[in-house]
Structure 1
Amino acid sequence: MFFDTHCHIDFAELGDPQMTIQQAMDAEVHRLLLPATTQKSWANVTSIVSRFPSVYGALGLHPYFLSPDMAMTSSLSQLDDALKQRSRRIVAVGECGLDAMIDIDFQQQVTVFTEHIRLAQHYHLPLVIHSRKTHHHILSLLKNAQFDEGGVVHGFTGSEQQARQLIERGLKIGVGGSITYSRAQKTRRTIASLPLESLVLETDAPDMPIAGFQGKSNHPERLPLIFQCLLELRSETPDELKSQLWHNSCDVFQLPDTAR
């Protein structure tokens, strides 16, 4: 079985979540993690995970959707309330993090992400982390907070050194569609060299289209194609790889490992 540890099946591009989930199940993707991106999406994420047993959720504020005029104190206070009242199917804090490639005040991003770290620590939940060109900042903030609840750095495309530093902080590395592109040599070499116990699979659907599907919305049902590409980069057998990836995914989100 496969676990898509990062997909936005609440986005309109994917249409009816029930159909998306069924198509994923038909492709042996038996679990999905749905991270919220905005405060407005929390209710929908909570509703979806309550309706579909194969889907789990995370609540947070994505740096891309922050704005100069947002009431940060109020939004973060409401995030605290939402996490306090969460159902058992909300298993992480996120999507949250830092992004040096967007026109959002960086100090505002740091302030918001720091509060996500505090809340995750307080509620003993892992983080779902977005990071573009900010791995050193992410590491510094996690170290300063002595964060030890784990999580996933999703869509990782950094260096092997950065990946190993993140792994040392107890984080998993999200392996997505980037490895399906032959030109992504640095990322492919990094993912090939990391401990298998540190990896999880993801699609980031409807984003991060895989090779051969450029310009089209991504879907959780394509996770096995990412797995096949990972298999080409690794030395493990298909069964070893599939089993360990499932275990890693269940472990980081503190879910029962029903495949074993």
Structure 2
Amino acid sequence: MLIDAHCHMDFPAFDADRDAVFARARAVGVGRFVVPGTTRLRWPDVLALGKRTDVSVCLGLHPYFMDEHQDGDIEALAQALEANPEIVALGECGIDGRFTETLEAQWVLFDAQLRLAKRRSLPVVIHCVRANDQIAKRLRQLDMPAGGLIHAFAGSLEQARRFLALGFTLGLGGAVTHPRAKRLRRTVAALPDDAFMLETDSPDMPLAGHQGERNEPSRIAEVCRVVAELRGQTPAQVAASSTASARRLLGIDQ
């Protein structure tokens, strides 16, 4: 079985054909979808998807949407986590270094979410763009015993090992399918079997050959094939490793 460890199936991009998208993914062996939250406004849609037997959900405040976050969101997040014990992780949270004008506010929000996750012994799903070293330093300082997922990892082998040593797992998605991503592909080839989870980030993070198209969870089969090729393994071996990692980190039991 394949698990798409990170897909935004609540996004409006899927409103017209969401059931068909799920069906196409199931047809290629995807048996579980992990849907993260991004803004307080979107949490109800994420929780509604969590009523499906094949969906696990996370709630968080994404750094891309700083203009949408408000005072009181952290308190609301704490209440939502308390009220919905089925939530498997806090996220998507993190740092996006492309947006320097909000960077200070991003760190304040991220730190608050890390502390909340630590209090609740929840893993965290981390958006980490141009901030691998800084985030690893902060995770080491805080000591997050439940670990988490470094979503859409695109760093070096040294950075990967730093996250792994802190108890985190690396999310591998569309970026690994691009031949120009030579450093990432070398890193993927050298990772231990228990170091990664496959993800699509649908509707974003398109695969090579699909630039400009809406991404969807069925394409995780292609991510799996490319990762297997890079690692000298079969797709079945890579799928088994990824699924085991997702089950271990997120407590998914099917």
What TM-score range do you get, normalising by the shorter chain?
Answer: over 0.9
Structure 1 residue runs of 5 or longer lacking an equivalent are none
Q: Deviations over 1:59-102 (max 9, x none)?
A: 000001012x8533x111111111111141x1110000001102
For 1:40, the aligned partner's letter is L
| CA distance 1:219–1:71, change in 2 (3 Å) | closer
2:94 — aligned with what?
97
In structure 2, relative to structure 1, the CA distance for the partners of 1:49 and 1:17 (3 Å cut) is farther
Pair 1:102–1:246, CA change in 2 (3 A)? same
Distance in 2 (CA, whole Å) between partners of 1:55 and 1:17 is 13
Q: Tell whether 2:157 aligns with 1:155.
A: no
Work out whether residues 66 and 104 of structure 1, in 8 Å CA contact, stay in contact via their aligned partners in 2. Answer: no
Residues in 1 aligned to 2:207 and 2:95: alpha-carbon distance in whole angstroms: 24
Q: Deviations over 1:113-170 (max 9, x none)?
A: 1111111111111111000111112112211211111111011111111111001111
2:7/2:33 contact within 8 Å kept: yes
Which residue does 1:11 correspond to in 2? 11
Q: State how 1:37-56 maps to structure 2 within 5 Å.
A: 37-50=38-51, 52-56=52-56
1:225 aligns with 2:222: yes
Cα distance in structure 2, aligned partners of 1:70 and 1:29: 32
Q: How does 1:124-139 map to 2 (within 5 A)?
A: 124-139=121-136
Matched AA of 2:186: R
Superposition deviation, residue 236 in structure 1: 2.8
Structure 2 residue identity aligned to 1:139: A
Provide the TM-score with structure 2 as the length reference. Answer: 0.96
Q: Secondary structure at the match of 1:197?
A: coil
Aligned twin of 1:251: 248
Question: Partner residue of 2:70?
Answer: 71
Percent identity over the alignment is: 35
In 1, Cα distance between equivalents of 2:90 and 2:96: 17
The separation in 2 between residues aligned to 1:179 and 1:28, in whole angstroms, is: 20
Give a deviation string over 1:211-252, Cα, whole Å, max 9, x none.
Answer: 111110000011000111011101333332221211111111
Distance 2:42 2:85 in 1: 16
Q: Deviation of residue 17 (structure 1)?
A: 2.8
2:166 equivalent to 1:169: yes
- State the aligned residue count: 253
Pair 1:2 & 2:25 matched: no
SS at match of 1:66: helix
Residue of structure 2 equivalent to 1:197: 194
